[in-house]
């Protein structure tokens, strides 16, 4: 198991909340991690978790990398300290997160692009790939000549989560470059410039879920 006793663990609720809780691994068992009662990083107060609550858990591995996995509260025990029991899905469901640069994943996310002024007419499109720091989007042929690097735009993104929930993200962005994809269609790469913290958390979660889906598909292809 990658998690070791004494490792710090951060929990983020899977319901879209931007709150973060910190804790520590006190015991490691097959299929479970026992943690200390977590502390809310905003209030500094102890948080009492209910059975069935779901989280994204992150921890730093022995190699210094940041790792994330889905987990659920399974119960509470006292042995001898009071501890919360978290489900541990196994190493094949743990994803390494790149900390210096957000992980970019292939994804066709519905998007709407609006001008910051009136340089072009708004248009709807899809992303080619996306991360918590930016995205690449297809551009209709009529709009491509009107867009250039350095231009500011406003984006609306629709994130379809694995839970069936939809999150709507609105952010300003700056066009980094214009190019053509392998099919010859115009594509623009943008960097998000004022993304709200809770929306960045949602994009990180979305990227994480996409990574798991890609890994599952690859595993099935290799069987």
Q: What is the CATH number of the domain that holds 199?
A: 2.40.10.220
If 0-12 CB within 10 Å is exposed, 13-18 middle and 19+ buried, where does residue 114 land?
middle
Query: Which of 44, 62, 97 is the last residue in one of the domains?
Result: 97
Same domain, 111 and 66: no
Query: Which of 60, 81, 97 is the last residue in one of the domains?
Result: 97
Strand partners, 11: 21, 57
Give me the number of domains the chain comprises: 2
Reported as a pLDDT band with limits 50, 70 and 90, residue 130 is very high
Same domain, 212 and 125: yes
Residue 2 lies inside a defined structural domain of this protein: no
Residue 160: CB atoms within 10 Å: 15
Residue 1 lies inside a defined structural domain of this protein: no
Q: What is the pTM of this model?
A: 0.59
Name every residue whose Cβ is closer than 8 Å to that of residue 15 and which is 6 or more positions away in sequence: 54
Q: What is the CATH number of the domain that holds 65?
A: 2.30.110.10
Same domain, 109 and 212: yes
CB 55 within 8 A of CB 14: yes
Reported as a pLDDT band with limits 50, 70 and 90, residue 100 is very low
Same domain, 85 and 177: no
| Closest to 202 measured CA to CA, from 151, 149, 165, 152 | 165
What residues make up the domain containing 23? 8-97
Q: Measure the CA–CA gap between 175 and 192, rounded to whole angstroms.
A: 9
CA distances, 130 to each of 44, 47, 104, 200 (Å):
33, 33, 5, 12
* SS3 state at 206: helix
pLDDT of residue 16: 64
Same domain, 168 and 142: yes
Q: Strand runs (DSSP E) across 89-184, as ranges?
A: 95-97, 105-106, 110-115, 123-130, 134-138, 152-160, 166-180
pLDDT of residue 121: 94
């Amino acid at each position: 198991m990658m998690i070791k006793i004494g490792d710090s663990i951060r929990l983020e609720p899977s319901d879209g909340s931007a709150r973060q809780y910190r804790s520590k691994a006190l015991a490691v068992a097959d299929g479970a991690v026992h943690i200390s009662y977590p502390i809310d990083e905003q209030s500094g107060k102890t948080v009492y978790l209910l059975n069935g609550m779901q989280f994204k858990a992150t921890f730093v591995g022995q190699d210094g990398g940041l790792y994330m996995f889905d987990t659920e509260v399974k119960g509470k025990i006292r042995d001898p300290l009071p501890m919360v029991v978290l489900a541990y899905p196994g190493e094949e469901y743990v994803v390494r997160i790149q900390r210096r640069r957000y992980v970019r994943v292939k994804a066709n996310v519905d998007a709407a692009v609006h001008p910051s002024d009136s340089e072009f007419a708004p248009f709807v499109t899809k992303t080619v790939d996306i991360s918590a720091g930016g995205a690449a989007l297809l551009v209709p042929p009529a709009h491509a000549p009107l867009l250039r690097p350095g231009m500011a735009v406003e984006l609306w993104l629709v994130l379809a989560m694995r839970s069936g929930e939809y999150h709507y993200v609105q952010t300003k962005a700056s066009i980094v470059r214009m190019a053509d994809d392998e099919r010859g269609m115009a594509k623009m790469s943008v960097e998000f410039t004022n993304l709200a913290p809770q929306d960045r958390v949602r994009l990180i979660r979305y990227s994480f879920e996409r990574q798991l889906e890609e890994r599952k598909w690859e595993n099935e292809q290799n069987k």
